[in-house]
A and B are shown apart, each in its own frame.
Chain A
Amino acid sequence: VTETLCFRFADLHPDAPELREDLDWLLRFVARRFEIRVRDELLYEEVEFPVLELAQVLDAWMATDMAERHDLEYEVTGGENGTLLLRSTASGWLVDSAYRSPTTPVPALITDDELRHAISSFIEELHRETGRDYDLDVRALLTRVRADASS
């Protein structure tokens, strides 16, 4: 089954000798390979990608009320701007990246439900893998970071 929007990662590992606090996990826990696909078209790919940072940004973004939810422009820490762009249109969400290959067509719009499902699946998969291999509770981490940001 082809997912409308899919965040794929492989080979999670720490990128620092020690991950002590939530901030270390967010910035120094990476996937050796990461990609974003829309309807199976490759939109973005990167190595050594901090997947928990992106998960935290998406989690916080989804937690805001729909009426107050602005377009999202995510820039991976240490990289260039435009890693992931989520733009609201009258007909749905445009998911794009400044790194989209010129040969890849502009992605088709996706619905709010499809976007929500993709983000939830991404976080769920991270939660499962990090819980199994690193004894890290990703959902608890995201909740803590969100709470700290709003306090």
Chain B
Amino acid sequence: VRTAAKVADELSGFKDARGAAGAFAEGDVVGGATSALFALPGVGKLAKGAKAATKAAPRAGASALEDASRASFKAAEGPINISRKHLPGAGGRYNKFAEGVDADGVVREALRSPNAIFRPNPAGGYRVDTDLGRAIGQGGRTSLRSIVSPDGRVVTAFPYGPKTP
């Protein structure tokens, strides 16, 4: 089992206060008090509003991880709106949730998980990858990828990772 700490080391990245890892460019330092603040479930109540967060310049290193972690926690509290193309029985070759899986519940769980790994999404926002340790997708996929906007909304989410027997 790869722990968040191991993943962070492998990625030369950082961890947030809940233990989740991130891979962002180095160049910033996180303060202990600030780090602890991001561990609180109520991160959406921080002074930095959604609009400001959307327009804020991306930050590097641990600060970027804090932003991603905060956006992720906030996204877990909002609407999920899974695309129908990722639901069982839908057409297309897209990754799909397994039959009987509570897709919205899985996304919320993944966004709050200490196993979450954060990366910048090339087209903006964050990629939050979480291995939930059980099959949640068709083909036995155990991981979920969520694309979260900088202001803390789930833009899309779907099962991810290698198929397992």
How many Å from the CB of A34 to the closest CB on chain B? 10
Query: In the bound complex, how far is the Cα of B145 from the Cα of A20, in angstroms?
Result: 21
Asked if A16 contacts B123 (CB within 8 A), the reply is no
How many residues of A are counted as interface, with CB atoms below 8 angstroms from the partner's CB atoms?
Answer: 27
Asked if B94 contacts A78 (CB within 8 A), the reply is yes
A23 sits at the interface (CB 8 A): yes
The dominant DSSP class at the B interface is: loop
Asked if A80 contacts B93 (CB within 8 A), the reply is yes
Q: Which of B83, B86, B90 has the most CB of A within 10 A?
A: B83
How many Å from the CB of A83 to the closest CB on chain B? 9
Extra inter-chain contacts (9) besides given A21-B124, A78-B86, CB under 8 Å: A15-B84, A16-B155, A20-B153, A21-B151, A23-B124, A24-B155, A28-B155, A30-B85, A48-B94
How many Å from the CB of B136 to the closest CB on chain A? 14
Chain A residues positioned under 8 Å from B145 (CB to CB): 78
Asked if B122 contacts A149 (CB within 8 A), the reply is yes
From 54 to 68 in chain B, residues with beta carbon under 8 angstroms from any chain A beta carbon are 54, 57-58
